[in-house]
Structure 1
Amino acid sequence: MELYTNARFISCEKENRIYTAMAVKGGHIVWLGDESSIPPRYGKAKRVDLGGATVTPAFGDTHMHFGSLCVFENTFYLMDVKNFAEAKAAVRRYADSHRKNKVLMGYGCTANTVAEHRLPEKRDLDDWTERPLMVMKYDGHAAVCNSAMLALLSDKVKSDPGCNTETGWLYQSAFYNGVNEATAYIPTMDIIRGLSGGAEYLASVGIGLVHTVEGVGFANDLDIDMIKILAPGLPQAFRIFFQTMDLKAVKKHGFKRVGGCFKLALDGCFGSEDAALKEPYANDPNNYGVLNYPQERVNEFAIGANREGWQITMHAIGDAAVEQCITAYEAAYADKPWDDARHVMIHVCLASEEQLKRAAKIKLCIAAQSPFIYWKQEPDEYLCAVLGRERTDRLNALGTMHRLGLVVGDGSDGPCTRPKPLYGMACSVNHPNPDERISRLDALRMITANPAYMSHEENKRGTLAPGMIADFVVLGDDPLTAEDIAGIEVKALYLHGKKHVAKKIGVAGLLARAIIKRITQREYI
């Protein structure tokens, strides 16, 4: 038994409570209270002085692409380059240090943060390297290839209408299939080692619960099988959604959660101007974006998955896609009422208050991305140019969602943004539209209690209370009062009552840990 003292413990319950001491036994919290009145039964417990730190429940991320995040955490990002010359240098550095790689893959090219004010094309990538190179766009919905990479891709990809062989850009199905073919050249052992490295990064920012969508981006659904097998060996608790509309495949792989982006993306994104809108884009009166599926197909999917008792999540960015998503969920509930399904809408960047009222009525959950509020890849001036001022001001309506009683969990959409829960919290409380700002406690619950609720685990984790799993994070300052929330240091992460210590682990060790945890904890589904 351990007794943690000299800290400020924030429970993150709806009726938030603050404590100064906490007792943990067998990986669970057994008592919280005032350090001046510790019960005698805990008097002989091992004392851990936390040095005046603040403690909250471990953070959760309600939407990321963990497999893809891990790949790109181990390649190169172009999010922060200021021009194509810096991008070229980053590619060259990576290529020089990875001479055995058959292909080079990176992430994050954008037009809004580079001096050229345009996306790179095939001719640019040809100058960066002669080796096969693919770089994914910052929003994860398209990629650009150089000539050598295009030569490796199949005729199926190059003949797809979404492939522009002149510019090297891949969109929609050409993008999905092209990425699958490119990742097939990455050695499987490298991917597995990347999973461990990615999990260590998440631990460094205090994340203990991960909702990840998998099943696109790797040939033969390699990621979905690997993560299912290996996730128990990683530090965090993983809740995996299979990105497919093929319900037979979900049964075959043994999942109880389905959906996500890509194959479940009802629309595109603002960066490609294909997020589906009810009114046209401000810069193109003929463009309403794209709905990827007819309403009947989305209804069929939602009804089928709901009948199976599976939790569903679907990507919807524009208000036309939000409409389609809510309509499908309403159809599913009309077919089979399920009061506690906690189905999810991802993103919900642009939605009317009436739409959000309908979502609240059927108790949908929202996996929002507060880092999008101040996303330099899509700055305010760009959004105003494509959406207009009025719609831009209504984006990411966290205040409205909370006022209507929706359960909102925050997510990074990694690798679109690097997971940093405290940065997301800072964005939530500093929304540029005062009407959409939320309280610090609500923002903290978006990264603690609400992710646990959204995976039906509110009685196990997400708050500090007796009986809960002792997953908690030790912080250098109090997020409820600190001036710089995003700058708060994550001093330590405790999982099941044990302080997490970063360490390299081989493939065999990871598999062994996965087997042991699956037997002893049996919570990885």
Structure 2
Amino acid sequence: MSSATTSFEAKPPGERYPVDNAYDAAAAEKAGIWTARVTASSYGAPSSSGRTFKIILAALSLALSSFLFYDTFAWRSSKTITSDSYALCSRKGAQIYTVDPTHPRTECLVVRGDKFQTIGSLENIRAHAAGRLQVRYLEPGQIVVPGMSDSHTHVLEYGEKKQIPLEDTSSIEATVLRVRDYILSDPEVSNNKSKWIEGWGWDHTRWTLEQWPTSQAFEADPVVAGRPIMLRSKDGHAYWVSSAILQAMEPIPDEVEGGVIMRDSSGEPTGVFLDIAGDLVTAIQPPPTSSTLRKRLDVTVKDAHSVGLTSVHDAMLNPLPLEFFRREALAGTLPIRVYGMRYFDETAPYWGDSFEKIIRAGNNRLTVRSVKIIGDGALRSGGAALYEPYADNPETRGFMRVSPEVLNEFIPKFMADGWQVNVHAIGDRANGLVLDAFEAALASANVTALRPRLEHAQILAPKDMARFGDLGVIASVQPTHAISDMWFGEARLGPERVKGLYAFRSIIEHGARITLGSDFPVEDMNPLAGFSAAITRLSREGTSPHGPGGWFPEQRMTREEALKGMTLDPAYASFSEDILGSITPGKLADFVVLSKDIMKLPPQELLTTRVVATVMDGKPVYGVL
């Protein structure tokens, strides 16, 4: 964004040119005779005397503006907004995408305080704006979109993952080496062999030799050996632990319903625990301190703002992080909007009729009015619950982490008590069972009004697809999962069943609303990566198992659907469409300035777009206006 070069022209009292520069306009309004205008080329070639006259008048006007309105002049010099009322405009065309169906694009937006005051053309803004108004301009090519939202995240876990980046390792040995480097880089850790080391992101499906790791791999390195180490897999459904943690977990049960304890040929645990079996690990995990949680939050928010995120839906708040977010919100120190899903633990007493919902606490920064139930495992680790056995492992069809009986008991109960119910469901059988439970809830609750969500909704059988729209269930999907899983999806599911994997277009055509997320730290946090995956179904390199046209290209979303899916639809999915999700007068002034027009840019250039500024409540939290 930049300020414009201006010239001046005398006009009779009462006549005005359109305002193109804030400090010039302020001086003109005060003096009553001069008005700023970008360039003079449109006036034709004036005479020599005319040019001299205009130069003198311009100099006088600039002097007057500096004398009478120094603060506004200083704003232009520093290139920052200094008032709580300002306009942001595009010079050529309507480059502000509002995602408001009544006025989808506009030239200008006006912010007053923490809300959008109005939108429209520059001339209309001038006519209706009261008093002095600062105006900033988009650079050529830049656009504005509403503040972007991620509908499925793990906020504090992202901060934890950043400690030891593991996602790009190529082997068990390379992953252990990352842990070694982390230990040696931190004296507090290296000097304390009893301190827990936690990481996230390893992916055995991408290693050169695809195999499950073992606890013994840690013992092979003298720096790493003997330490309590817990590393979660990329999808978060597998825990790889060291021998020290295995010893601390004893006695380890023979089996865990809804999970897997991996064992060697002699029946001993190898150090990998899947899904609910991972609870055996977390049960002995030392709780993080408030200071540790704050550090993780700061890391996450810094990155989130840099990619244009102004709100996130945290998909599993246990009591400790829930209380942490509540304290931060009430103290006014929560730097991003969080829509929290409280975790459901079937072993704990029912709390839906006793826990007080949190609605827009801390200046609209925290809401907790939903419950998160984990239905099944993950496709990557073979735990997604399927109607029929896996194509590449016919001995299993995955597993449910909670039984159908539990779903049918608790989903109606939570909904009767006014809770939105959000269920992790990946396999087709899991999605079908959850939809059954939502249907059962119709007897005691208005299901559509409570906006239930299927988190992931990855594999859908044709018989279940239509029930989305009929019930008003929201599909909370992650497009970057599609371009990760497309490489092994058909091998797992077979050539016919794979057609129901990440079938975004089919979901939309059956009348369901889609809201987009990333599941970070599982996938890239950048919402533009999800936007690109949704409309192209191609990898970052422009490839897919079906060629450059995209993986099942008939399931692509349009750009308009994808933009709505990461702005207005997440607002709807979190009961906040009245204050968020679009650039609409009266809503909170959350918006993002992008360096390129993602609604027109060639697909291969989408990920070259950067965030110029991220704005919350009318104030930049990243970049400058």
TM-score (norm 2): 0.74
After TM superposition, give the deviation of residue 500 of structure 1 in Å: 0.6
Match of 2:246 in 1: 150
2:531 alignment partner, one of 425, 428, 442: 425
Indicate how the Cα distance of structure 1 residues 189 and 156 shifts in structure 2: closer, same or farther if over 3 A, else same: farther
Q: Which residues in structure 2 correspond to 1:368-383 (within 5 Å)?
A: 368-375=477-484, 378-380=485-487, 382-383=488-489
Q: Which residues in structure 2 correspond to 1:115-154 (within 5 Å)?
A: 115-128=208-221, 129-130=224-225, 131-151=227-247, 153-154=248-249
CA contact (8 A) 2:325 2:334 kept: no
After TM superposition, give the deviation of residue 116 of structure 1 in Å: 2.1
Match of 2:520 in 1: 414
Match of 1:435 in 2: 554
Q: Does 1:13 align with 2:100?
A: yes
Amino acid across the alignment from 1:200: K
CA contact (8 A) 2:152 2:312 kept: yes
Residue-by-residue CA offset, 1:27-86 (whole Å, 9 max, x unaligned)? 11111112354333427211222323210001111111222222222x212111223343
After TM superposition, give the deviation of residue 407 of structure 1 in Å: 1.0
After TM superposition, give the deviation of residue 201 of structure 1 in Å: 1.4
Indicate how the Cα distance of structure 1 residues 500 and 120 shifts in structure 2: closer, same or farther if over 3 A, else same: same
Structure 1 unmatched runs, 5+: 503-525
Q: Distance in 2 between matches of 1:372 and 1:478?
A: 24
After TM superposition, give the deviation of residue 418 of structure 1 in Å: 3.1
Match of 2:62 in 1: none
Amino acid across the alignment from 2:520: G
After TM superposition, give the deviation of residue 156 of structure 1 in Å: 5.5
Q: Does 1:47 align with 2:135?
A: yes
Amino acid across the alignment from 1:55: V
After TM superposition, give the deviation of residue 15 of structure 1 in Å: 5.5
Q: Which residues in structure 2 correspond to 1:33-72 (within 5 Å)?
A: 33-42=120-129, 44-52=132-140, 53-72=142-161
Q: Does 1:477 align with 2:596?
A: yes
Residue-by-residue CA offset, 1:80-119 (whole Å, 9 max, x unaligned)? 1223343233212211123324011111111222212223
Residue-by-residue CA offset, 1:99-158 (whole Å, 9 max, x unaligned)? 32401111111122221222322122223512221111111111111112323x333656
1:23 alignment partner, one of 104, 110, 114: 110
Residue-by-residue CA offset, 1:452-490 (whole Å, 9 max, x unaligned)? 011111121101111111100110111111122233101
Q: Distance in 2 between matches of 1:405 and 1:169?
A: 41
Match of 2:280 in 1: 177
Decide which moves more: 439-448 or 173-182.
173-182
Secondary structure of the residue aligned to 1:500 is strand
Q: Distance in 2 between matches of 1:158 and 1:126?
A: 23
Amino acid across the alignment from 1:94: Y
Q: Does 1:190 align with 2:292?
A: yes
1:269 alignment partner, one of 357, 367, 378: 378
Which one has more relative contact order, counting CA pairs under 8 Å at least 6 apart?
Answer: 1
Secondary structure of the residue aligned to 2:167 is coil
1:233 alignment partner, one of 311, 333, 342: 333
Indicate how the Cα distance of structure 1 residues 494 and 293 shifts in structure 2: closer, same or farther if over 3 A, else same: same
CA contact (8 A) 1:214 1:224 kept: no
Secondary structure of the residue aligned to 2:188 is coil
What percent of counterpart residues are identical?
24
Q: Does 1:108 align with 2:196?
A: no
Indicate how the Cα distance of structure 1 residues 176 and 227 shifts in structure 2: closer, same or farther if over 3 A, else same: farther
Q: Which residues in structure 2 correspond to 1:234-253 (within 5 Å)?
A: 234-244=334-344, 245=346, 246=348, 248-250=350-352, 253=355
After TM superposition, give the deviation of residue 501 of structure 1 in Å: 4.2
Match of 1:405 in 2: 511
Give the count of matched residue pairs: 489
Decide which moves more: 480-489 or 170-179.
170-179
Amino acid across the alignment from 2:436: T
CA contact (8 A) 2:475 2:512 kept: yes
Secondary structure of the residue aligned to 2:606 is coil
Q: Distance in 2 between matches of 1:215 and 1:49?
A: 41
CA contact (8 A) 2:468 2:511 kept: no
Secondary structure of the residue aligned to 1:77 is coil
CA contact (8 A) 1:353 1:400 kept: no
Amino acid across the alignment from 1:259: V
Indicate how the Cα distance of structure 1 residues 87 and 451 shifts in structure 2: closer, same or farther if over 3 A, else same: same
Secondary structure of the residue aligned to 1:55 is strand
Amino acid across the alignment from 1:51: E
RMSD: 2.1
Secondary structure of the residue aligned to 1:39 is helix
2:405 alignment partner, one of 296, 313, 320: 296
Look at both structures and tell me which one has the larger radius of gyration over its CA atoms.
2
Q: Does 1:93 align with 2:93?
A: no
Residue-by-residue CA offset, 1:221-274 (whole Å, 9 max, x unaligned)? 3122112222452222111111114564455553353333xxx22111111212
Q: Distance in 2 between matches of 1:493 and 1:273?
A: 39
Secondary structure of the residue aligned to 2:321 is helix
Indicate how the Cα distance of structure 1 residues 56 and 325 shifts in structure 2: closer, same or farther if over 3 A, else same: same
Secondary structure of the residue aligned to 1:148 is helix
Residue-by-residue CA offset, 1:143-178 (whole Å, 9 max, x unaligned)? 111112323x33365665444454111123330231
Q: Does 1:325 align with 2:434?
A: yes
Amino acid across the alignment from 1:109: W
Match of 1:519 in 2: none
Match of 2:363 in 1: none
Q: Distance in 1 between matches of 2:486 and 2:164?
A: 23
Secondary structure of the residue aligned to 1:482 is coil
Q: Distance in 2 between matches of 1:251 and 1:157?
A: 35
Amino acid across the alignment from 2:533: C
Indicate how the Cα distance of structure 1 residues 147 and 294 shifts in structure 2: closer, same or farther if over 3 A, else same: closer
TM-score (norm 1): 0.88
Q: Distance in 2 between matches of 1:112 and 1:338?
A: 39
Amino acid across the alignment from 2:112: K
